[in-house]
Amino acid sequence: MLRHSDIWEAIDRLAARHNLSPSGLAKRAGLDATTFNKSKRATRDGKLRWPSTESIAKILEATGSSLSDFLAEIPNGGAYATQRIPVIGFAQAGEQGFFDDAGYPTGTGWDEIVFPDVGDPNAYALIVSGDSMQPLYREGDRIIVSPTANLRRGDRVVVKTREGEVMAKELVRRTAQWIELRSMNPEYENPKLSTMDVEWIARILWASQ
């Protein structure tokens, strides 16, 4: 599994490869200059902070790098554990037979990709279609989803309703009665769903272009 220190080391090495400081890399990617400061990598009480998938996607775009290039910057020669992750199109995800009641991938019809170990054997990937997730995720991007990861406010999540609609949004608030979501594309509405109408909700861990 990718470690916290590995990800931050890869960011530092990617910056150095392009003759930039971590701050300079952040600015080139259109991020706040302090995004990758060492002070941002853990809280005062020692809790580890991970860089967001959005920030990593932006530095890859800004430097013309691929995910493979980024992983190659990880210590120990870029060696990392991998796992085979099932993948289907976003439109297929709303059909019957691809998930059990808990939101775990099941059945046949899945393709497969090899991806760095994300620490969840039930993780799966969805291929983005349409423009509802722009500008963060574009058509053809693959988002890696974990049905077992803990959810917090601000997480990007995939939600499946009992009517079969599957959507990727930002989690704003979750109570016993309601799930409030924010659309990534401001041209789309921000849903507020009754928990009774939601079949499952799972956290997006990573995005791969």
Q: What is the pLDDT of residue 209?
A: 58
Closest of 7, 23, 15, 6 to residue 63, by C-alpha: 15
Residue at token pair 């609609």: 165
Please report, for residues 7, 56, 111, 159, the alpha-carbon distance to residue 70 in angstroms, rounded to integers and kept in the order given.
Answer: 9, 9, 24, 29
Report d(CA 140, CA 130) in Å as an integer.
9
Q: CA-CA distance, 99 to 163, in Å (whole number)?
A: 14
Burial of 84: CB neighbours in 10 Å, binned 0-12, 13-18, 19+: exposed
What is the per-residue pLDDT across 176-194, written as a single tens digit (0 to 9) for each?
999 999 998 889 999 999 9
Pick the CATH number of 4-72 from 2.30.110.10, 3.40.1170.60, 1.10.260.40, 2.60.40.1840: 1.10.260.40
The fold adopted by the segment(s) 82-208 is Umud Fragment, subunit A (2.10.109)
Q: Locate the domains of the chain by residue range.
A: 4-72, 82-208
Q: What angle do CA 168, 52, 152 make, to 5 degrees?
A: 60
Instruction: Provide the residue-wise pLDDT of the chain in tens; the chain has 209 residues.
Output: 567 888 899 999 999 999 999 999 999 999 999 999 988 888 888 788 888 878 888 899 899 988 778 877 877 655 566 788 999 998 889 888 899 988 999 988 899 887 777 778 999 999 998 888 888 888 888 899 999 988 988 899 999 999 989 999 999 999 999 999 999 888 999 999 999 999 999 999 887 65
